[in-house]
A and B are shown apart, each in its own frame.
Chain A
Amino acid sequence: EVQLVESGGGLVQPGRSLKLSCLASGFTFSNYGMNWIRQAPGKGLEWVASISSSSSYIYYADTVKGRFTISRDNAKNTLYLQMTSLRSEDTALYYCARHGKRGNYFDYWGQGVMVTVSS
């Protein structure tokens, strides 16, 4: 069974940093592209970042480019999101999601981890 379990969220002050993790199991992690997608309270979905299976290709949404860094450790089956210079508008539930076998849709999602940016 595919499982994606996020961790590392919490309350952080504006301008500070936070690092999220997503532990994957139930599939060969190194074969799949992975993503972070967020959802502000009561709002819709916003794609944040993508990383290819071997980390060769990395893409970011304009709203986080230069502040967030996506990475992965295939030996540890873990996806990361390093977030710096956090703003109140980064407050959201952050989901880890896997790319599909046949395309860059998202076929499995984690349960999400909450990040709250507030003083």
Chain B
Amino acid sequence: DIVMTQTPSSQAVSAGEKVTMSCKSSQSLLYNENKKNYLAWYQQKPGQSPKLLIYWASTRESGVPDRFIGSGSGTDFTLTISSVQAEDLAVYYCQQYYNLNTFGAGTKLELK
């Protein structure tokens, strides 16, 4: 089974700050035949269902603000929020879909 490790588990931020969070997989998520990384990011606000932000590690879902940036390849991935807004306070999960599905434990963004 592929294990997904997210760090940090929580992070206190101020509005306007640049934020980065990490997701590491126990094996490569890069499929050599199509050069795609099978990694997605989700945002879950309190009391709401998760929302897809990023797939293929760096493709932003339609309607997602361009301050959300996914990067990385192989086993190391990053979600960056270029300038955090108050509405971005949430838990962020990464998910691998290379071999079935596994989620990371999440990174919670809190207000400083």
Contact = CB atoms under 8 A, between A and B. Distances in A.
Nearest to A100: B55
Interface residues on A, range: 20 to 34
Interface stretch (B14-22, B76-84, B102-110): B102-110
A44 B100 contact: no
A103 interface: yes
B97 to A, nearest CB: 4
Contacts of B103: 44-47
A71 interface: no
Given A45-B93, A100-B55, A102-B55, A109 B50 contact: yes
B112 to A, nearest CB: 23
A105 B40 contact: yes
A104 B101 contact: yes
A30 B51 CA distance: 22
B95 interface: yes
A107 interface: yes
A110 interface: yes
Interface in A33-72: 35, 44-47, 50, 59, 61-62
A32 B38 CA distance: 18
Given A45-B44, A105-B95, 11 more contacts: A35-B101, A44-B91, A44-B93, A44-B105, A45-B42, A45-B50, A59-B100, A61-B100, A95-B50, A106-B40, A107-B61
A106 B52 contact: yes
B52 A105 contact: yes
Contact of A50 (B52, B95, B101): B101
Nearest to A109: B49
B68 interface: no
A105 B105 contact: no
